[in-house]
Structure 1
Amino acid sequence: MYPTKQVKIDRLVYALALVPLLAVPAAAEGKKQTVKGDDMIVTATRTEERSIDVPVTTQVITRETIEMSGVADVGDLVGKYVTGHYHKYNGLLSPIGLRGFRTDAHGADLAGYVLILVDGHRIGTGNAAKINLDRIERVEVIKGPASALYGSAAMGGVVNLITKKGDGKLGGSVGGEYGSFDYYKTQVTGGGEVNEKFRFFATADIDDIGDYKDPTFGTVYNSGVEKKNIGGNFVYAFSERHELRLGGNYSDLTSESPSWAAGTYSSYVKEYDDHNDKSTGYADLEYNGDFFGGAVHWRGMAYYLWDKNHWFSGNSYGNSDPDSYQTKYIDETVGTDHQFTWKMTSWNSLLAGFTMENLEKKSYGVADSLPARPYTPGLDYDNQALFIQDSLDLLDNRVNIIAAARYDRFDVTTKRAETGSYASFNERSEDYSHVSPKVGVGVKLFDEKLRLRANAGEGFKSPTADQLSADYYHTTRDVHYRGNPDLDPETSMSYDIGFDLFFSPVTFKFSYFHTDYEDKIVSKVYSEGGQTVSTYENHGDATLTGFDIGVEWALDKTFRLPFTASLWSNMTFNTTYRDELTQSDLLYTSDYEIKTGLNIGYQGLSGQLSHALIGPQMIDNWDTYQVEEKGAFSYWDLTLRYRFDEHWEVKGSVLNLFDQEVEWVRGYLMPERNFLVGLTYNF
């Protein structure tokens, strides 16, 4: 089932490739690194800083990389470049993971363990397949807990999507793409600086793909996807010190749901036409202003998030009408976030702020074409948070220290669903609070060619409202659902040490991490007075350790090539991932992940050859209800782009170049070798 021979070849290739990579720093020219260490990042500290001045390692996926990736959504982008865990299903469902934790399986924002942000605030979903890349200028990825600044769900890390703001010359583009499986896309963009005060960026696109084929079983019937996206940013500068931005995006997203005929790995059912609507959107208003001669900066933001998950699943119940059974959840969030940065001295900055959010989940159901109870009732969250961070730059900026903490308070309520009836339903509320600390230290040596760093911090995930406060009786299931008000948040304490080498042709980054995961929330079912009761409890701890390695090598500088060429590799090796209660391996955590690429460029021509190798992992086999090992797999992608006549651009990609079996989740094989070509006119 799995290409083990190919994986062995891949390992040999990597072993040979890494020898010169590790040897090059010693032979590199002794010039001060002026690119990677000087990249400006914002996610690690909530303020714009040089990456080398921040002890927390940040992986940045640039706009150039996004354009050369050949992928259309954030999920596939993370799966291609970021080591962690990618849990991609057919259609529009792609949870993403970092360091043993991942977003919720169905994309519920506050139920996940990795946080997705857009321009610094929650985007409202953990389903990365919903997020279109056309508006994204760059992606910043923080591995390890970030709850000290961002609150619940930031246990495994944070993915922050920085959108285009219209910087640069006024212009636009019109383009189209066509590819395998009847894929097409049309897009129009426009933006730039209209005058000294006003700039904008806006984009709209439609793309559609039909049923794809996998390398083994042929056509995956009912796997088509249709997307419609529109969004943008409008920025007005009142003066050099005061600026207002209005932004937002709406995505109309529909897809189908393929099914196996008789057990996994048999054949796909053509008549099975269940489908879903996973539309999503947001709007935000951001103010940035400097006061007291620039010593104090205020960033204030208000935002509205809307996310829908609507399944039409009549076929699942043997009904010829897929609309006869439906489940729909709509999440609406209203929030505001404010932070104040005070540059107290040239070497000390203090950041303080607060966040206030309300999330309401409405639930709907249909059974036998009649209104019915959905699986999950309605939920309501009120979150108020205070955070503070002190940044010290000592010894002429050779030592950087960051200490942060955040206080979160949650008030949660389980509400009656919008449809259906219950034998009894008590809309009960509960509240709790939590404090998350973090500290990091970085030391730069040898004219910033070497950096040593260490971090310690806590992440947490809030119990969901139904886990805390549910109190209702479900007659169909004959179960009393009862929340546990004594639940503690799930927490992770992580320690991270490492070093970075910055030489002229090569950047090398190494991190060792150790995470103690505590108070895992699990379900508990028991009998009380002859009635089945379903509740939750904190039960079980885990330990995760491993290594992250990142390498970037400018081949053109080393070998004095007449064209640009660079080799990069991101690697994670998980050495321990044990459930301390059962003494078994944690599920869905690979032994290793290695993602590598070669970029080249000459005049108007550029290209990228990339490879992903995903190691074995323990998983649940839902056919046998047994835990088993899922084997390793790998794939290659190739993208070429040519820009000519100042305005035109043609691009082509071959994805899954060698037609390998790609299976991020057991039973959900991804497409066979496929192609796409695109033509864009820029004006």
Structure 2
Amino acid sequence: MKMRSKMKIDHILFALALTPCIALPAGAGEQQVQSGGEMVVTASRMEQQSIDVPITTQVITRDQIEMSGARDVGDLIGKYITGHFHKFNGLLSPVGLRGFRSDSHGSDLNGYVLILIDGHRTGTGNAAKINLDRIERVEVVKGPSSALYGSAAMGGVINLITKTGDGPLGGSITGEYGSFDYYKGQVSTGGEVSDTFRFFITASIDEIGDYSDPTFGTVYNSGIERKEIGGNVVYTFSDRHEVRLGGNYSDLYSESPSWRNWITYSAHDPNARQNSDKSIGYADLEYNGEFLDGKLHWKALAYYLYDKNHWFWGFPDPDSSQTKYIDKTIGTDHQFTWRMTSWNTLLVGFTIESLEKESSGTENFQPSTPLTPGLDYDNQALFIQDSMDLFDNRVNLIAAARYDRFDVTTKRAKTGTYADFNERSETYDRISPKFGIGVKFLDEMLRVRANIGDGFKSPTADQLSADYVDVRSGVRFLGNPDLDPETSRTFDIGFDVYHSDLSLTVSYFHTDWKDKIVRESLVNNGQGITTYTNHGDATIAGFEIGAEWILGQTFNLPFDASLWSNMAFNTEKEDEQTGEDLLYISDYEVKSGLNLGYAGVRAQLSHVLVGSQMITNFDTFMNEEKGTFSFWDLTVRYRFAGSWEINGSILNLFDQEVEWARGYIMPERNYRIGLTWNF
């Protein structure tokens, strides 16, 4: 106990020591952040300078992505953004913002944080499925964003903005090799073919075998294979009209390790064979046009999303028992931006989406009933936003609201036997407002801001309308048509300081979470019934602090150097009905680092510290505290001979035990090295 306490004290002292050099999560080492002039689009659905958007917006740039050592979006968020990222084996990584997370199994509509790609849903809440090769930057909006993006945006929105081939025509070929038989091959090409046509296309394949953790050795059956291809083609008709056609497909295979005799922390089972076949894909068509001498802008999106999760969990033969879910979504999103005056811009738009979930199962090589039946979602939404820049752009106001209507249906699964299955439908609607204000002082060196807004999460179709009996268990699953959506109201206040070599941001947020939906088990006339109910309220509150110190400018160094860090302290996280801490919200997080650059060399030393949290121990089904953990990573990149670049990473530099989720210990210290030829 004394050793654990000392370790916690050391961690906190380290965090406090870095407080003067805490970076905006938007920058994490990028010197452009300190000016406050970075262009962002997600928070207001319009391209604006970040200092003119009073909503907390953070950006991960392409340079940060390259220096992160991350292989997917989940790892990237876990390194730079506070909010408690979760990571399991088998390509499963829900991401968190302000105490809310995306769905653990990947359903984007069943989560509390929404992941977008180029402004529309990705079709998944599992960030491990999304590779980084096509991502130009990541914009993160913390706080409820349902006023513009609808359901599942209670904690915020993560928007992945893809490469479109800006710049000269060229390409690259990359090969990487590393620990645990890791390898990756990638080919990319793109650029501006003419004044009217540009493109970017990339394809890659990578694989890694069973890894080892620092405590128990080889984690058997933990390998991963990824095959991915995607890109964008952009055609510019004129300086006022442009069309983009984009898409991506990822074929993902992952294995699932287990503990010997299913006893956590016993030893990894060398006979484990369970695995999963996951794939995700999308295609989208985007039009941007300007009318009325540029005063009116029309952005139109049409998209198709595909998300498959296929688990093979039989024992001893994994093929003997399977569960498969396939989500298909068709949607369109349109927004019209009218610059009414030099200081007032009105945005109106609508979204129409239709999602169909197909479910099937196999048990002992026979068709069986999956855990979730088939589902249909139809969503229609209208949104409006007024943005005002007053007093010579010293005061920025944003007011927004969105109306959502849902039609949800529970459908019979493609396999299995049900008794008394009724395909029921339910309809409900929701209005979500938001308001923000920012005021600048001292020639934009200081900004004070405040926001208040509502978020909501739609009940799932089975929570609302299920009505069937599972013949295996005899349990009746009965939806509750009187369920209300889960809602939140958050206010946050804060200030930002922008100096020539130091930036600082401080925020306080307070969230009232209402009408949480929980599963409820009942017995009626001797029959077990599973249903759902709105179960009480909760409060989440805390501080977020960030800054970046450009050491090279302060001390007139002959090389680039910056210190950065992102901090979050959750001062309140209480279930008001039980009086206990909410689960899976850490007490604090600190994500920090040092960036260096000289000539063709760039280096980043980063540190992640995650505080203790309350979790459920699924061995005992009792709640307990999970302790603090931390790790260091080092990445170096060197460009030479004009067109060649070598990169190397040492991940988990000091060989620490890293466990984002209980029982899922991440790899020991491991290495990667790669070579890229740019042409």
| Band of TM-score, shorter chain | over 0.9
Taking structure 1 as reference, are residues 19 and 197 closer, same or farther at Cα in structure 2, changes over 3 Å only? closer
Map of 1:26 onto structure 2: none
Q: What is the rounded CA distance, in whole Å, between the counterparts of 1:533 and 1:20 in structure 2?
A: 55
> How is 1:291-370 mapped onto 2 (pairs within 5 angstroms)?
291-315=291-315, 320-370=316-366
Pairing 1:557–2:558 present: no
> How is 1:479-490 mapped onto 2 (pairs within 5 angstroms)?
479-490=475-486
Superposition deviation, residue 105 in structure 1:
1.1
Q: What is the rounded CA distance, in whole Å, between the counterparts of 1:19 and 1:235 in structure 2?
A: 43
Q: What is the rounded CA distance, in whole Å, between the counterparts of 2:609 and 2:47 in structure 1?
A: 33
> How is 1:62-73 mapped onto 2 (pairs within 5 angstroms)?
62-73=61-72
Contact 1:74/1:132 (<8 A) preserved: yes
Pairing 1:659–2:659 present: no
Map of 1:14 onto structure 2: 15
Q: 2:473 aligns with which of 451, 454, 477?
A: 477
Contact 2:143/2:156 (<8 A) preserved: yes
Q: What is the rounded CA distance, in whole Å, between the counterparts of 2:672 and 2:17 in structure 1?
A: 32
Q: 1:527 aligns with which of 523, 526, 537?
A: 523
Alignment partner of 1:9: what SS?
A: helix
> How is 1:185-584 mapped onto 2 (pairs within 5 angstroms)?
185-262=184-261, 263-315=263-315, 320-584=316-580
Contact 1:364/1:419 (<8 A) preserved: yes
Map of 2:140 onto structure 1: 141
Q: What is the rounded CA distance, in whole Å, between the counterparts of 1:21 and 1:205 in structure 2?
A: 35
**Aligned amino acid, residue 510 of structure 1:** V
Superposition deviation, residue 528 in structure 1:
1.5
> How is 1:98-177 mapped onto 2 (pairs within 5 angstroms)?
98-177=97-176
Superposition deviation, residue 6 in structure 1:
4.4
Superposition deviation, residue 5 in structure 1:
4.5
Superposition deviation, residue 524 in structure 1:
1.2
Q: Deviations over 1:46-98 (max 9, x none)?
A: 00000000001211000000001111100000000000011100121000111
Superposition deviation, residue 155 in structure 1:
0.2
Map of 1:650 onto structure 2: 646
Contact 1:501/1:508 (<8 A) preserved: yes
Q: Deviations over 1:326-348 (max 9, x none)?
A: 00000000000000000000000
Alignment partner of 1:290: what SS?
A: strand
- Show structure 2 runs of 5+ residues with no match: 24-30
Superposition deviation, residue 123 in structure 1:
0.3
Map of 1:635 onto structure 2: 631
Alignment partner of 1:85: what SS?
A: coil
Superposition deviation, residue 255 in structure 1:
0.5
Taking structure 1 as reference, are residues 166 and 20 closer, same or farther at Cα in structure 2, changes over 3 Å only? closer
Taking structure 1 as reference, are residues 306 and 34 closer, same or farther at Cα in structure 2, changes over 3 Å only? closer
**Aligned amino acid, residue 634 of structure 1:** S
Q: Deviations over 1:385-420 (max 9, x none)?
A: 000000010000000000000000000000000111
Q: What is the rounded CA distance, in whole Å, between the counterparts of 1:219 and 1:514 in structure 2?
A: 43
Contact 2:417/2:471 (<8 A) preserved: no
**RMSD of aligned residue pairs (Cα, Å):** 1.4
Contact 1:204/1:230 (<8 A) preserved: yes
Map of 2:89 onto structure 1: 90
Structure 2 length-normalised TM: 0.97
Contact 2:22/2:567 (<8 A) preserved: no
Superposition deviation, residue 10 in structure 1:
3.1
Q: What is the rounded CA distance, in whole Å, between the counterparts of 1:181 and 1:579 in structure 2?
A: 42
Superposition deviation, residue 14 in structure 1:
2.8
Identity of aligned residues (%): 68
Superposition deviation, residue 17 in structure 1:
3.2
Alignment partner of 1:562: what SS?
A: coil
After the TM superposition, which of the residue ranges 269-278 and 216-225 deviates more from structure 2? Answer: 269-278
After the TM superposition, which of the residue ranges 366-375 and 454-463 deviates more from structure 2? Answer: 366-375
Q: What is the rounded CA distance, in whole Å, between the counterparts of 2:579 and 2:677 in structure 1?
A: 58
Map of 2:179 onto structure 1: 180
Superposition deviation, residue 259 in structure 1:
0.4
After the TM superposition, which of the residue ranges 44-53 and 364-373 deviates more from structure 2? Answer: 364-373
Alignment partner of 1:345: what SS?
A: coil
Q: What is the rounded CA distance, in whole Å, between the counterparts of 1:562 and 1:296 in structure 2?
A: 47
Q: What is the rounded CA distance, in whole Å, between the counterparts of 2:21 and 2:72 in structure 1?
A: 34
Taking structure 1 as reference, are residues 538 and 34 closer, same or farther at Cα in structure 2, changes over 3 Å only? closer
Q: What is the rounded CA distance, in whole Å, between the counterparts of 1:678 and 1:515 in structure 2?
A: 44
Superposition deviation, residue 8 in structure 1:
3.1
Q: What is the rounded CA distance, in whole Å, between the counterparts of 2:508 and 2:300 in structure 1?
A: 36
Map of 2:73 onto structure 1: 74
Q: What is the rounded CA distance, in whole Å, between the counterparts of 1:372 and 1:455 in structure 2?
A: 49
Contact 2:34/2:503 (<8 A) preserved: no
Q: What is the rounded CA distance, in whole Å, between the counterparts of 2:673 and 2:5 in structure 1?
A: 31
Taking structure 1 as reference, are residues 33 and 90 closer, same or farther at Cα in structure 2, changes over 3 Å only? closer
Taking structure 1 as reference, are residues 415 and 439 closer, same or farther at Cα in structure 2, changes over 3 Å only? same
Tell me the matched-pair count: 670
**Aligned amino acid, residue 219 of structure 1:** T
**Aligned amino acid, residue 175 of structure 1:** T
Contact 1:4/1:632 (<8 A) preserved: no
Contact 1:606/1:642 (<8 A) preserved: yes
Contact 2:34/2:502 (<8 A) preserved: no
Superposition deviation, residue 3 in structure 1:
6.5
Superposition deviation, residue 4 in structure 1:
5.7
Map of 1:25 onto structure 2: none
Q: What is the rounded CA distance, in whole Å, between the counterparts of 1:261 and 1:12 in structure 2?
A: 38
Contact 1:94/1:129 (<8 A) preserved: yes
Structure 1 length-normalised TM: 0.97
Q: What is the rounded CA distance, in whole Å, between the counterparts of 2:660 and 2:4 in structure 1?
A: 14
Taking structure 1 as reference, are residues 379 and 473 closer, same or farther at Cα in structure 2, changes over 3 Å only? same
Contact 1:647/1:681 (<8 A) preserved: yes
Superposition deviation, residue 35 in structure 1:
5.2
Superposition deviation, residue 33 in structure 1:
9.0
Contact 2:34/2:501 (<8 A) preserved: no
Alignment partner of 1:67: what SS?
A: helix
Contact 2:57/2:141 (<8 A) preserved: yes
Contact 1:7/1:613 (<8 A) preserved: no
Map of 2:26 onto structure 1: none
Superposition deviation, residue 179 in structure 1:
0.2
**Aligned amino acid, residue 184 of structure 1:** Y
**Aligned amino acid, residue 197 of structure 2:** F
**Aligned amino acid, residue 241 of structure 1:** R
Q: Deviations over 1:81-121 (max 9, x none)?
A: 00001110012100011111101110111000000000000
**Aligned amino acid, residue 173 of structure 1:** S
Q: What is the rounded CA distance, in whole Å, between the counterparts of 1:504 and 1:492 in structure 2?
A: 38
Taking structure 1 as reference, are residues 415 and 20 closer, same or farther at Cα in structure 2, changes over 3 Å only? closer
Alignment partner of 1:657: what SS?
A: coil
Contact 1:7/1:634 (<8 A) preserved: no
Alignment partner of 1:199: what SS?
A: strand
**Aligned amino acid, residue 666 of structure 1:** R
Q: Deviations over 1:162-196 (max 9, x none)?
A: 00010011100001000000000000000000000
Q: What is the rounded CA distance, in whole Å, between the counterparts of 1:294 and 1:197 in structure 2?
A: 19
Q: What is the rounded CA distance, in whole Å, between the counterparts of 1:674 and 1:174 in structure 2?
A: 23
Map of 1:29 onto structure 2: none
Q: What is the rounded CA distance, in whole Å, between the counterparts of 2:139 and 2:610 in structure 1?
A: 22
**Aligned amino acid, residue 44 of structure 1:** A
Q: What is the rounded CA distance, in whole Å, between the counterparts of 1:420 and 1:473 in structure 2?
A: 11
Superposition deviation, residue 13 in structure 1:
2.6
